[in-house]
């Protein structure tokens, strides 16, 4: 598939809607619900078997994905604010909950993600944080080095507290 160019057009979805996708252990999409397909502007046959990074927006810091993959590959869940990129170049923010999927023996066999529409105030706060993470990525030619620099910037910006604490603080503010 060819790379999508961001248009700057923001897309939203309903507060009562949930975007759902499932992947195999390598992050290839095995399931996408109708909300995922509508919001991302992809047809089901265009996403199944493709890497979930198909919808990665270039403004979402590599360090955030480093944290996400470390968490789920370690068997943990993670909640994260993520800016996704639709096929038509529109972007849409989500509050993602990503968890390992286990078989009856407890072995991780894939990953499951449910995404809700985030509060605009939460997006505004993480946009500032993510801009600083992207700045830390600048100047690194290798993706792995950019991800490490971005992750280090995140940890410094959080002052030692876990990213999850920031997420739950923003969720609570959005519900107030």
Using pLDDT thresholds of 50, 70 and 90, give the confidence band for residue 58. Answer: very high
Q: Which residues of 10-33 are buried (b: 16+ CB within 10 A; e: fewer)?
A: ebebeeebebebbbeeebbbbebe
Eight-class DSSP state of 142: S
Number of domains composing the chain: 1
| Range(s) of the domain holding residue 165 | 19-175
Longest dimension (CA), the chain: 45
The model carries a pTM of 0.94
Q: Is the pLDDT of residue 2 over 80?
A: no
How far apart are alpha carbons 56 and 52 in whole angstroms?
Answer: 8
Average pLDDT over residues 55-78: 96
Asked, for residue 11, whether it belongs to a domain, the answer is: no
Query: Encoding tokens for residue 111?
Result: 């990953």
How far apart are alpha carbons 170 and 158 in whole angstroms?
Answer: 13
Asked, for residue 104, whether it belongs to a domain, the answer is: yes
Predicted pLDDT at 126 = 96
Asked, for residue 34, whether it belongs to a domain, the answer is: yes
Question: How many CB atoms neighbour CB 115 within 10 A?
Answer: 24
What does the pLDDT look like over 105-130, one tens digit per residue? 999 999 999 999 999 999 999 999 99
Asked, for residue 2, whether it belongs to a domain, the answer is: no
Which CATH number characterizes residue 87's domain? Answer: 3.30.450.20
Using pLDDT thresholds of 50, 70 and 90, give the confidence band for residue 85. Answer: very high
Per DSSP, the residues of 34-74 read: HHHHHHHT--HHHHTTSBGGGGB-TTS-HHHHHHHHHHHHT
């Amino acid at each position: 598939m060819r790379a999508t160019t961001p248009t700057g057009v923001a897309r939203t979805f309903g507060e009562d809607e949930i975007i759902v996708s499932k992947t195999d252990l390598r992050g290839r999409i095995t399931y996408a619900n109708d909300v995922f397909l509508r919001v991302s502007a992809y047809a089901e046959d265009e996403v199944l078997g493709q890497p979930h990074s198909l919808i990665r927006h270039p403004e979402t810091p590599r360090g955030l994905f480093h944290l996400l993959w470390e968490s789920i590959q370690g068997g943990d869940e993670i909640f994260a604010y993520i800016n996704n990129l639709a096929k038509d170049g529109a972007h849409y923010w989500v509050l993602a909950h990503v968890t390992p999927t286990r078989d009856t023996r407890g072995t991780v066999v894939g990953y499951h993600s449910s995404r809700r529409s985030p509060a605009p105030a939460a997006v505004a706060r993480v946009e500032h944080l993510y801009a600083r993470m992207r700045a830390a990525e600048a100047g690194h030619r290798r993706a792995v080095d950019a991800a490490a620099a971005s992750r280090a910037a995140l940890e410094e910006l959080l002052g030692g507290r876990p990213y999850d604490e920031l997420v739950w603080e923003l969720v609570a503010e959005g519900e107030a």
